[in-house]
A and B are shown apart, each in its own frame.
Chain A
């Protein structure tokens, strides 16, 4: 029997993990696709192997059968392989046409070839998979179950128990429940409301066919209690159990796989009329595995998605016509599935209302960092964020272009300014020459520990750099400011131990200079933008702390930090007069007098109705203490020595 010489992965992998579960030595499922392991490949690369590198000879005999098995199990048939050529001995036959894996039944539309199963596969094939999940494990299993269900001609909907309407329960023909148990036998948070409602309403479930997969921890007394409760309750209400409940311990993958292999073909034998055709189960198992005599049916694979109830909304979209120089908003009343993304909503408008609407899009969630928009005041990626995460039923969804950017048309903004800034900041590494660390060309290279590489990677691991810039309320106001995205990239490069001293010094000068990190007027405003914003804000604060040390508190910003801290140390509270005097200096104070700021402060009492002078300092040391100009000196707080001691303990620079 010939052995397999080459194996590769084609497009449209659904990352169901089936191949990895069967042969992890060869297949590694990533976020997007499946890779062929480097250890078994002649070229040692780790990718889909679209270049069709050969499998190392020592592995071929051992893995050939299992690769075939994995290809058979692949629901979307994208595992391809090639046998060794008999004439070429051990060498693979390059000219030989690829042998495709045996097709797997994956259709949702039955045909006349379905033979004995034709009756079962006809009509309504809806399957509802309810999940109760506290940590996401049950959610993941529900999604996997939905993907596998297509092999049995089922059309699955994965539904969060929190989002399920109890009124629909009696009308379901096919129902699978996958739920974890929380704490001491309690329902997960998202299942509690439905559970209570079910117990209260006691709906008649005579037409429902059910199987339950319960996840738990056998070290607890109430092992898998939530799943058992659902099984018993729905059974008592009249539901037909087509497959006994499966209890899964903390290592749930294997028992879940056993359950799903039984439960899916059995529930697939519930026909359009709602009758469980038990005598068809064996044929259905064969059909689902692709071994049936009926032969497979061609068709599209239906990927699983978590369905959310439909939301009625008013969509308000910014429009800009550059040819006419006109701006405005389109307002459209519509209803969309809650799980639809902003991009889905915009696409619907483009397809059904106005084909001229322009926006950036991508083929899959998170696929394009340039799809940023501002939705209800929040900067988000349109291809990622779901409508149900932004609004409730009946709400307004306002979609505007990313703030701080030049608008080219409708929701499309220019990114060239930030790209130019990034390019001019020379973010690439410039290492110092080091002995023994050079490329063959003679160019110097640096090295770093993997822990440092990980840390640097994490610092820059943000979903979208244009989105970062839009988080800043300063970006776009100050034309000289390079923005938080470039500042972050410069800061990361400066922390890279491979960077040479000259480059590090140059980066610090850029960060310290005009348009650098001190040009951000309010880092706190960035930090409120979720995990990405908080991460960047922390890095910008860290960059400033480093620059204060490097440049010894020079410049207005340095003096601001130094004297703020010193005035707090001196009295326990900040003294604004000290800050004005030390940061602005005589010229700055003079400028404030000339441009009316000081006058407005002195006349503050005329605007807020307070007394002209609030204490003796106003008389002894004017203008301090007059109007809204603060006192020259603060009185010390109670136990002021404690504040001084804290400064002395933690930072004697102040």
Chain B
């Protein structure tokens, strides 16, 4: 059977969907685009009803046990759904991976979290029953780039720098991709009809956890990623991290002024660029192409 992009002729792949901390807040465009793109590929996003914040490694700084317990609740919700967790945010994937690794490797931490979880929610976590994945790794490892390519309606035809960020680039958190020199997003962009642009800062941090607390250093970190991508010849940056997107997009002008670098370049989330290639939101895609032509490299 040929893959046609029509999900109805294939068995759906089901995941418990964790939107992360901002996809249903400041980054609604992620929520707008992940739903149709997943439908195009036959991925059924099952809502984790009542999910809570993963703590973003911020609550961990005040109370590590509390952050673990919050994650345990989400994992237990996914476990009850009967499906692994998928997210489109690299930071969330990193946080959840760390928490789940702790539970798998530290029975005392698991027992402690379960004590609270059982007492309050009646649920109990079996850490071996659930896994977490970033959308990128699901597309490459599970769905297959051939199927992605077959679903393309509007080839991207853009020079695209792929930003991974550091959060999910650790052993066990990034699927079969290389931790230190990841290429999954570049492969995906190629499958979507774009031209990936290699640049040296694709896994560097932009300092998002300290966006509101540190001034110039975070702006300089952000500017470095933006200017490196632009300097490498990209006219669009695609970010696999919804949180880092805030730095790269909303703080782009300020970062450029602080670091005295050319940082003007369109930045979109990974889910947006995939949805555009699949023919969703053609108006937004046209707008992006225009911006790339005007302010891109």
Q: Which residues of A contact B (CB under 8 A)?
A: 376-378, 473-474, 477-478, 481, 518-525, 527-528, 541, 544-545, 548, 553, 555-557, 560-562, 564-565, 568, 572-576, 579-580, 583-584, 588, 595-597, 600-601, 604, 607-610, 614, 628-631, 634, 637-640, 642-643, 645-647, 649-651, 653-654
Inter-chain contact B62/A561, CB cutoff 8 Å: yes
B199 within 8 A of A: no
Question: For the complex, is B281 an interface residue (Cβ under 8 Å from A)?
Answer: yes
Q: Which of B26, B169, B181 contacts A376 (CB 8 A)?
A: B181
17 extra interface residue pairs, beta carbon distance < 8 Å, beyond A597-B250, A642-B50: A519-B214, A524-B95, A545-B63, A561-B58, A565-B66, A572-B50, A572-B51, A609-B287, A609-B288, A610-B32, A628-B250, A629-B26, A642-B73, A643-B70, A643-B73, A650-B65, A651-B62
Within 197-234 of B, Cβ neighbours of A (below 8 Å) are at: 203-205, 207-210, 212-214, 216-218, 220-221, 224
| A628 partner residues in chain B, CB cutoff 8 A | 26-28, 250
Residue of B nearest to A654 (CB): B62
Cβ distance A567 to chain B, nearest Cβ, rounded Å: 8
Q: How far is the CA of A647 from the CA of B55 in the complex (A)?
A: 12
Count chain A CB atoms within 10 A of each CB in B22, B210, B252 and give the residue with the most: B210
Q: How far is the CB of A382 from chain B (nearest CB, A)?
A: 16
Beta-carbon contact of A564 and B56 below 8 Å: yes
Which residue of chain A is the closest to B267 with respect to CB atoms? A607
CA distance A378 to B170 in the complex (A): 11
Measured between beta carbons, the chain A residues less than 8 angstroms from B287 are: 607, 609
In the bound complex, CA of A596 to CA of B251 (Å): 8
Q: Is B272 close to A, CB under 8 A?
A: yes
- The 9 closest A-B CB pairs, nearest first, are A609-B284, A521-B207, A638-B50, A478-B217, A528-B170, A525-B166, A522-B205, A525-B205, A473-B205
Taking a contact as CB atoms closer than 8 A, the residue among B52, B60, B65, B283 that contacts A637 in the complex is: B52
Q: Which B residues are CB-close (under 8 A) to A548?
A: 61-62
B218 in contact with A521 (CB, 8 Å): yes
CA of A614 to CA of B181, assembled, Å: 38
CB <8 Å contact, A523 and B209: yes
Among the 9-residue stretches B38-46, B80-88, B115-123, B130-138, the one with 4 or more Cβ atoms under 8 Å from chain A is: B115-123
A572 to B73, CA, bound (A): 11
Q: Which residues of B contact A643 (CB under 8 A)?
A: 52, 70, 73
Query: Does B10 belong to the interface (CB within 8 Å)?
Result: no
A573 contact from B53, B59, B91, B288, Cβ within 8 A: B53
- Provided the pairs A477-B221, A610-B28 are in contact, do residues A568 and B70 lie with their beta carbons within 8 angstroms? yes
Q: In the complex, which of the residues A607, A630, A640 contacts B266, with contact meaning CB atoms closer than 8 Å?
A: A607
Q: CA A322 – CA B50 in complex, angstroms? A: 60
CB-CB under 8 A from B252, the residues of chain A are: 600
A596 contacts which chain B residues (CB < 8 A)? Answer: 253-254
B180 close to A (CB within 8 Å): yes
Q: Is B59 a contact partner of A630 (Cβ separation < 8 A)?
A: no
> In the complex, which residues of chain A have a beta carbon less than 8 angstroms from the beta carbon of B49?
638
Tell me the smallest distance from the CB of A352 to a CB of chain B, in Å.
Answer: 27
A522-B212 in contact given A478-B217, A574-B53 (Cβ < 8 Å): no
B50 and A630 contacting across the interface, CB-CB below 8 Å:
no
Q: From A481, which residue of chain B is reached at the shortest CB distance?
A: B217
Which residues of the other chain, B, contact A610 by a CB distance below 8 angstroms? 28-29, 32, 284
User: Which residues of the partner chain A approach B116 to less than 8 Å between Cβ atoms?
Assistant: 646, 649-650
Contacts of A588 in B (CB 8 A): 212
Cβ distance A369 to chain B, nearest Cβ, rounded Å: 21
Hey, which chain A residues are within 8 Å of B203, CB to CB?
Answer: 377
Q: Which residue of B lies closest to A538 (CB)?
A: B64
Return A575 CB to nearest CB of chain B, in Å: 7
Number of chain B interface residues as a range: 35 or more
Of A481, A548, A560, A646, most buried by chain B (CB within 10 Å of CB) is A646
With both chains docked as a complex, state the minimum distance between the C-beta of B191 and any C-beta of chain A, in angstroms.
23
Tell me the total A-B contact number using a CB cutoff of 8 A. Answer: 211
| A631 to B, closest residue via Cβ | B25
| Residues on the A chain within 8 Å of B24, using CB | 573
Cβ distance B24 to chain A, nearest Cβ, rounded Å = 8
Q: From A547, which residue of chain B is reached at the shortest CB distance?
A: B61
> What is the 8 Å Cβ interface bit string for chain B, positions 98-139, against chain A (1 contact, 0 not)?
100000000000000000100111000000000000000000
- The distance from the CB of B130 to the nearest CB of chain A, in whole angstroms, is 18
Q: Is B179 at the interface (CB under 8 A from chain A)?
A: yes
Please give me the residue from chain A that is nearest to B72 by CB atom: A646
Do A646 and B291 have beta carbons less than 8 Å apart? no
Smallest CB gap from A378: residue in B: B180
A189 and B32 alpha carbons, distance in the complex (Å):
46
Contact A568 B59 (CB under 8 A): yes
Question: Which residue of the partner chain B has the closest CB to A518?
Answer: B213
CB neighbours (8 Å) of A629 from chain B are 26
Q: Is the CB of B50 within 8 A of A637?
A: yes
Q: In the complex, what's the smallest C-beta–C-beta distance from A247 to chain B, in angstroms?
A: 35
Contact across chains for A560 and B55 when beta carbons are under 8 A apart: no
Q: Nearest chain-A residue to B283 (Cβ)?
A: A609
B62→A565 contact, CB < 8 A? yes
Instruction: State in angstroms the CA–CA spacing of A649 and B73 once bound together.
Output: 14
A522 touches B27 (CB 8 A): no
Assess the A560–B213 pair: CB atoms within 8 A: yes
Q: How far is the CB of A514 from chain B (nearest CB, A)?
A: 11
Contacts A541-B60, A584-B212, A637-B52: A522 and B207 contacting too (C-beta < 8 A)? yes
A-B contact pairs, 26 of them (CB 8 A): A377-B203, A473-B221, A477-B224, A478-B217, A521-B210, A521-B217, A522-B166, A522-B210, A525-B167, A525-B205, A527-B170, A553-B62, A561-B58, A574-B53, A597-B254, A600-B253, A601-B26, A604-B250, A607-B249, A607-B291, A609-B287, A609-B288, A637-B50, A642-B50, A643-B52, A649-B120
Q: Would B70 and A646 count as touching, CB distance under 8 A?
A: yes
Q: Which residues does chain B contribute within 8 Å of A478, judged by CB atoms? A: 214, 216-217, 220
Min CB gap B276→A, angstroms: 10
B-chain residues with CB within 8 Å of residue A556 when the two chains form the complex: 212-213
Q: How far is the CB of B104 from chain A (nearest CB, A)?
A: 14
Measured CB to CB, the nearest residue on chain B to A596 is B253
For A562, give its contact among B62, B66, B179, B283 (CB under 8 Å). Answer: B62
Nearest opposing residue in chain A for B251, CB measure: A597
Q: A608, B272: Cβ atoms under 8 Å?
A: yes
Is the CB–CB distance between B32 and A564 below 8 Å?
no
Knowing A564-B59, A601-B250, say if A521 contacts B26 (CB, 8 Å): no
**Which chain A residues border B249 with CB–CB below 8 Å?**
600, 604, 607
Chain B nearest Cβ from A129, distance in angstroms: 31
CB within 8 A of B63: which of A634, A639, A650?
A650
The answer to whether A568 and B25 touch across the interface, beta carbons within 8 angstroms, is no
**Neighbour of B69 across the interface among A545, A634, A646, CB < 8 A:** A646
Q: How far is the CA of A608 from the CA of B285 in the complex (A)?
A: 9
- A525 CB → nearest B CB, Å: 4
Contact between B217 and A519, CB atoms less than 8 A apart: yes
From the candidates A481, A553, A574, A583, name the one contacting B213 in the complex (CB within 8 A): A583
Q: Which residues of B contact A521 (CB under 8 A)?
A: 205, 207, 209-210, 214, 217-218, 221
B268 within 8 A of A: yes
**B232 CB to nearest chain A CB (Å):** 15
> A474-B217, A576-B22, A637-B51 are contacts. A649–B251 as well, Cβ < 8 Å?
no
Cα A646 to Cα B120 in complex, Å, equals 7
Beta-carbon contacts under 8 Å, B239-297 to A: 249-254, 257, 266, 268, 272, 281, 283-284, 287-288, 291
Contact B120 A642 (CB under 8 A): yes
User: A556–B211 Cα gap in the complex (Å)?
Assistant: 11
Q: Which A residues are in CB contact (< 8 Å) with B60?
A: 541
CA–CA, A608 and B272, complex, Å:
9
